[in-house]
Structure 1
Amino acid sequence: MEKQIENIAGQNSGWRGSSDVWLRAAYDALLETGVDGVKIQPLAKRLGLSRTSFYWFFKDRKELLDALITLWRHKNTGNLIKQTNAYAETISEAMLNVIDCWLMPDLFDAKFEFAVRSWSAQSPAVLAEIELADQQRLDALTSLFERFGLDATMADVRARTVYLVQIGYISMQSNEDLATRMARIPGYVETFCGQAPKQNELSRFYARHNFVP
């Protein structure tokens, strides 16, 4: 998370803080209290910096909020699309690559997703960003299924099944423990793809999540 913030917002600039420090504080405030908590004076207090320090890095609050949306777009949509294109020999392996997103916050930040979706309820501009992201993600998932031979209609239906289930998890703030989630993964893959994952595919998946079944 910190590295992505630094890449998007800039480099450290001494005692005034840095653009990435201010953006990190804004991210934390968004997750804790919603967008109404992302204001310059409270952030300055949180950081122990002067309010004027903010203006060395951002023109105004809107520019900071735009930086948050950019971070969210790069992290959640960018990484999900990347995972749909990851190498896989079978459709079930491809789906496990996507499911990595739901288990690895560095790939897909579910709390950030919930916060941005909540924010969209009071901002038409953010709602438009959400709608664009939803379509891009669905298009990527649809393309995944098409690569493995499904026709356009069924690829679209399966993509929506995958995506809407996960958005449901996020919207409901579901809090399964890892063992419960992992026990359900083979069934989800079979439901989404019509093909159960092979044992060697599951073994590789479990290994990269440091899970021992």
Structure 2
Amino acid sequence: MDVTQTDQMHGTQATWLRAAYDVLCDQGVEAVKIMPLARSLGLTRSGFYYHFTDREALLEAMIRHWEDKNTGTLEARCDAYAETVCEAIFNLFDCWLDNDLFDSPLDLAIRNWARNDPALQTRLDAADKRRQAAMERIFLRFGYSPQEAETRALTMIFVQIGYISMRVTEPRDERLARMPPYIVVFTGQEPTPAEIDRFMARHCTPAA
């Protein structure tokens, strides 16, 4: 049996994960169950067990995906090369505008799930500490004191968690327009026109 036939019979692991992700984000972890997932995909329970030993293995795969994508990518953006602190924070802001870098609905779903799962809460706390440390490194490498780096990093974290937990929706152009003033709030410095232009070029769709 070739790979295509196997995928038709069992689905791919990515297919099962995506279906579970959709349910997790829409309905919460309690609704992530094997048979409803199988029915939604038009597959059988055996298809699920071809890829995962049990439901816990599926949940663990989603948690690891969240850790790698959201926390791992955020750390990478914080550590990316930048000539100024403003440019470094713009690198981080890429996460808030590109779902391929940082998945806000998944972050909210994990936070809601962790409220009733002490083990996951421990992992969430560890992830938040990693994110805070990554943001602090930005300020430290540009000469801010440790105390100031901590305060500014926490301010950025609390603002973004507020966006996520309050499910703030705003037109993309409005949020983009707020990014340079946020840089001033978070760093105490004005980004240059060139820094703003480079950031906007990454996120603005060219006119037809």
TM range (shorter): over 0.9
Alpha-carbon distance between aligned partners in 2 of 1:38 and 1:138, rounded to the nearest angstrom = 30
Partner letter of residue 104 of structure 1? Answer: D
- Residue number among 20, 26, 35 corresponding to 1:26 in the alignment: 20
| Aligned pairs for 1:37-76 within 5 A | 37-76=31-70
1:142 to 2:130 alignment: no
Looking at structure 1, the residues matched to 176 and 17 of structure 2 have their Cα atoms a distance apart, in angstroms, of: 33
TM-superposed CA distance for 1:183, in Å, is 1.6
Q: Where in structure 2 are the equivalents of 1:170-209 lying within 5 Å?
A: 170-209=164-203
- SS of residue paired to 2:18: helix
Identity across aligned pairs (percent)?
46
In the superposition, the TM-score normalised over structure 2's length comes to 0.94
Aligned pair count reads: 202
CA–CA distance in structure 2, aligned partners of residues 50 and 24 of structure 1: 16
4+ long deviations beyond 6 Å: none
- For structure 2, list consecutive stretches of 5 or more residues without a partner in the other structure: none
> Matched residues in 2 for 1:87 and 1:198: separation?
17
More off after superposition, 118-127 vs 60-69: 118-127
**Structure 1 residue 110: Cα displacement:** 0.4
Kindly provide the CA deviation profile for residues 81-118 of structure 1, in whole angstroms up to 9, marking residues without a partner as x: 00001111100000000011000000000011011111
RMSD: 1.3
- CA distance in 1 between partners of 2:85 and 2:47 (Å): 51
Q: Which amino acid aligns with 2:137?
A: S
Q: CA deviation at 1:151?
A: 1.0
Q: Residues of 1 paired with 2:204 and 2:178: CA distance?
A: 16
User: 1:117 maps to which residue?
Assistant: 111
* Distance in 2, Cα, partners of 1:42 & 1:128: 29
- What is the SS of the residue equivalent to 1:163? helix
Residue in structure 2 matched with residue 4 of structure 1 by the alignment:
none
Q: Partners of 2:115 and 2:38 in 1: how far apart?
A: 26
After TM superposition, give the deviation of residue 211 of structure 1 in Å: 5.0
